[in-house]
Structure 1
Amino acid sequence: MLGRPMVRRGRPGLLGTMARTAVIAGTASATTGAVHGWRGRRQQQAAQEEAARQAAHEQRQPQQSAPPPAPSDLAGKLQQLADLHASGALTDQEYAAAKAQVLG
């Protein structure tokens, strides 16, 4: 029996169990990393597609129509300026300058 190596049968030894555990843990880690990578790429692709959809939607919307023609009477012009100022489209300084121009 000196020429035959000793063969162990039955349960694996400590080193065999450790090796198997390392392989299983490595496989699980690689799988988790692949899933996270796929998920991140998918989220990035979805964000890019959404941005493209929004850009296309904005291009399809008609441009704002021209403002209505300015009223010909002085009171109408002043009212229009007051409305623009009240809505915040004109600052106090812009409103004062436009009013002075209308009043002459």
Structure 2
Amino acid sequence: MDLNVIWDYFIEHLKEEDGIEEAQVKWSAGIPFIYIRSKKSKDDIEYCIKKWSAKAMRGKRLHSDTIFFREEESLYVYRHRFFVPLEKMFCCGNLCVDCVRLKQ
């Protein structure tokens, strides 16, 4: 699974949202930050981020995490990442207590 495709889909659709003038992702020390310039409220921006990240992840085993970082006038910065959940996805045959076969 290529996360670049998911990031591209997410950012392109975020840019097209009404009220969002600019959206881009910048990587700093391996951590992705979303820079959004908008006249919308912080709650509306966070709703848009959740909506488009959910649509970008649809059909894939991914999760997203968004944390507000800072705000300057009409520029909002969020730490946002897509990640694979930390859970077993197959049986390894070692009779583990948390085996996927034992889940209901």
TM-score, normalised to structure 2's length? 0.24
Q: Quick one: higher RCO (CA 8 Å, sep 6+), 1 or 2?
A: 2
TM-score, normalised to structure 1's length? 0.24
More strand by share: 2
Which protein has the larger Cα radius of gyration, Structure 1 or Structure 2? 1
More helix by share: 1
